[in-house]
Amino acid sequence: MPHHDLVIIGSGSGNSLLTPQLEGLDVAIVEKGTFGGTCLNVGCIPTKMFVVPADRVVDAQDAHRLGVTFDPPSVDWPAIRDRIFARIDPISRGGEEYRQGQDGVTLYRTRARFTGPRRLVLDTGEELTAERMVVAAGSRAVGLAVEGLTGPDPDRGVHTSDTVMRMASLPTRMAVVGGGFVACEMAHVLAGLGVHVTQVQRSPRLLMAEEYEVSERYTEAARHRYDLRLSSTVTRAEHVAGVWRLETEEPEGHAHVEAEAVLLAVGRRPNSDLVDAAAGGLDTHPDGRLVVDAQQRTSVPKVWALGDVSSAHQLKHVANHEARRVAHNLAVDLGRVEGAPWEEDGRPVPHAVFGHPQVASFGPTAAQLHSAGTEFVTYTQKVGDVAYGWALEDTTGVLTVHASPDGRILAAHMAGPHASTVIQPLIQAVSLGQHAHEVARGQYWIHPALAEVVENALLGLPLGS
C-alpha cells in the first residue's frame, strides 16, 4: 500500500499547490478527468474564447446605430472551435506530462474514494494513505429530473458545459435550459454564432442572484436577441427523428420548444459524493460542499479542501486564492515557513458574467442589505450618460454602488460594456479600505474613458462633502 507525504485529489487549482516551500515531499496527484480541471478545459477559459467571436458578431449587428453597416457574417464553427482547443489541449497535455516526469510526484490517472481518514482506494483497487491530503475534486454539471431528459446524452444532442463547446457542428436550433451564468453565456455565444436559441428559465428573470436592475436589464437585452421563456418549467421531453420536443409549463399554460440540441445549464454540484467524503470522515454542508474553516481545514486533521468541492463560490479566482492559502498552511504545518497560517479575511468576492451585456458584481444587493437591516446609501450611473457611453450609443449599461452613510463602499453591481474590467477599481478600493469620495476625488480619471462611469457613480453617492 503506497504511503505518501501528501495526496492531492484533483488537478485544477490543486495542481498549483506544489510551491517551492513543499519541495522534497513525496506527493501524489489523483485525477480521473482531463488534466487541468474545469476552468482550463470546460469552463472559464474556453467559454470566454467563444464569447469573443460572438461579441464581434453582435457588435457588427449593432453597428448600424453608429452609421456603419456590414454584410451578414459568415461563421466557421470548426475554425472557431479548433482555434480554441488547439490552444487549450496542449496546455492540459503539457501539464500532465510535466507532473508525470517530475521527481517526487506520482500521478494516478484514476478515480479515488475515501475508505477512512486519509485513506483512499483507487478504481484500480490500489489503496493509498498519506500524512496530509488536499481535496480539490471540483464540481460537475447536474442533469434535469424530468421524464425523457434525465441527463447529458451528447450522441442525441443533449449537452452540458462539458460537451457543448466540442460539438461537431452547430445545430439549427438549441434549447438552453437554465438562467444562471453558464446558461446566459452559452446562450449569448450560440445566438451570436447564428443558432436559433430558445432559453427556458423557471424564474421571472435571468441572473436572479444579481442586483434587480442589473438582472432586469440583462433579461430585457436577451429578450431582444432570442426566444426567451420566463417563469417556464420543463415538464417532460421526447426525442423523435432527431428533434427534441420539450413540454413546458408557462404562465399562459402548456407550451413546447423544439430543437435539434439541448443544453442543460441548471446548476453544478460538488464532487464530495464521488470521492465518498463521508467514508473519509469529512463533514459536508446540506448542498454537498465540504465543511472547511478559515484556514481551509476540513473536519479531519491534516486534510484541507479548496475550490468548488468546498467553496460557495464556483469561481476560479477564488479557488486559486484558496490554493495559495492551503500551500502556505501546508508549509506552516510542515515547519517549512515561519509565521501563522493564513485565514480567509472576508474580502469581497467579485464575479462576472460574460454575456451581452457583460455583468460584474461584488457585495450584497440592495434587497440583501434591506433584509439584513443595514443602513446604506446608493447611486446608479447610466453608462449612456458619460461621454464614452455617448460614443457607444449605449442604452443598457448601469453601475450601481452601495455604500455606508460614512462612505465605506459595500457593493457594486454593473451591466454594460467591459463590466468585468470597469468594476475592478471598486474591488481594489474596498480591499484597501478607501472612502468612496477619496477614490473619486483623489486621482485623475482619464477623460473621456469608460472608467468615468465609476467616478460619477461614486460622486453621486449622497454622502455630503
Read off the pLDDT of residues 392-410 as tens digits, 9 standing for 90 and up.
Answer: 999 999 999 999 999 999 9
Helices 44-62 and 77-100, interaxial angle, to 10°?
160
> Phi and psi at residue 238, in whole multiples of 5°?
-145, 150
184-240 per-position pLDDT tens digit: 999 999 999 999 999 999 999 999 999 999 999 999 999 999 999 999 999 999 999
Mean pLDDT of 443-456: 98
Same domain, 260 and 361: no
CATH number of 439's domain? 3.30.390.30
Domain boundary among 247, 266, 285: 266
Residue 244, in any domain of the structure: yes
Best CA proximity match to 440, nearest among 450, 430, 454, 427: 454
* Distance in angstroms (rounded) separating the CA atoms of residues 35 and 241: 37
Q: Does pLDDT of 1 surpass 90?
A: no
Contact 256, 246 (CB under 8 A): yes
For residues 96 and 90, the answer to whether their CB atoms sit within 8 Å is no
Q: Is the pLDDT of residue 465 over 70?
A: no
All residues at 6 or more sequence positions from 321 whose CB lies less than 8 Å from its CB, including other chains: none
Same-domain pairing of 262 and 273: no
Domain contains 375 = yes
Query: Do residue 136 and residue 273 come from a single domain?
Result: yes
Q: Is residue 350 situated within a structural domain? A: no
Residue 431 lies in a domain: yes
- pLDDT score at 150: 80
In contact, 319 and 14? CB cutoff 8 Å: no
In a domain, 352, yes or no: no
Q: How far is CA 135 from CA 8, 174, 308, 323, 343, in A?
A: 6, 36, 10, 11, 17
Question: In terms of domains, do 49 and 103 share one?
Answer: yes
Q: Is the pLDDT of residue 42 over 70?
A: yes
Q: How much is the mean pLDDT over the chain?
A: 97
The DSSP bridge pattern shows strands 261-264 and 158-159 to be: parallel
Q: Which residues are CB-neighbours of 127 under 8 A, at least 6 positions away?
A: 1, 2, 115, 119, 120, 121
Residue 341 in domain: no
Rounding to the nearest 10 degrees, give the CA dihedral for residues 219, 223, 224, 227.
150
pLDDT at 64 over 80: yes
Amino acid at 414: M
* C-alpha span between 11 and 166 (Å, rounded): 21
Among the candidates 299, 334, 369, a domain finishes at 334
- Rounded CA separation 94/36 (Å): 10
Examine the domain organization and report whether 254 and 293 are in the same domain: no
Cell numbers standing for residue 226: 432570442
Tens digits of per-residue pLDDT, 116-173?
999 999 999 999 999 999 999 999 999 898 999 988 999 999 999 999 999 999 999 9
Over 70: is that where the pLDDT of 372 sits? yes
* Contact between 260 and 172 (Cβ < 8 Å): yes
Task: Specify whether 303 is located in the same domain as 414.
Answer: no
Query: What average pLDDT score do residues 90-104 get?
Result: 97
Asked if residue 276 and residue 128 are part of one domain, the reply reads yes
In the three-class reduction of DSSP (H, G, I as helix; E, B as strand; rest coil), residue 160 is classed as coil
The CA-atom distances, in angstroms, between 252 and each of 14, 233, 255, 307 are: 48, 12, 8, 41
Strand partners, 264: 177
Q: Residue 259's pLDDT band (boundaries 50, 70, 90)?
A: very high
Cα separation, 145 vs 150, whole angstroms? 5
The secondary structure of 118-158 as a DSSP string is: TEEEETTS-EEEEEEEEE---EEE----BBTB-S-BGGGTE
Query: 104 and 161: one domain?
Result: no
* Helix 212-223 and helix 181-192, axial crossing angle in degrees, nearest 10: 30
The letter for the amino acid at 441 is R
Q: Is the pLDDT of residue 464 over 90?
A: no
What pLDDT is attached to residue 151?
Answer: 85
Question: For residue 445, is it within any domain?
Answer: yes
Nearest residue to 379 via CA among 359, 405, 357, 353: 405
Examine the domain organization and report whether 262 and 274 are in the same domain. no
CATH number at residue 242: 3.50.50.60
Distances (CA, A) of 41 to 34, 285, 464: 7, 27, 49
Q: What is the pTM of this model?
A: 0.96
Q: What is the share, in percent, of the chain residues with pLDDT greater than 90?
A: 97
Which residues partner with 186 through β-bridges? none
Q: H or E segment at 9? A: strand 3-9
Identify the domain containing residue 176 by its residue range: 154-266
447 annotated active-site:
yes
**pLDDT given at position 386:** 98
Q: What's at 443, amino acid-wise?
A: Q
pLDDT at 145: 87
Shared domain for 136 and 18, answered yes or no, is yes
Domains contained in the chain, number: 3
Q: Is residue 156 a contact partner of residue 293, using CB atoms and an 8 Å limit?
A: no
Chain segment 134-146, per-residue pLDDT in tens: 999 999 999 898 9
Of 266, 289, 311, the residue that ends a domain is 266
Q: Which residue in the block uniquely carries the three cell numbers 442586483? A: 211
Q: Is 149 a member of any domain? A: no
What beta strand segments (E) does 188-267 contain?
196-200, 227-229, 233-240, 243-250, 253-259, 261-264
Helix pair 44-62, 181-192: axis angle to 10 deg:
50
> Which residue in 3, 64, 285, 447 is the catalytic one?
447
Question: Same structural domain for residues 278 and 130?
Answer: yes
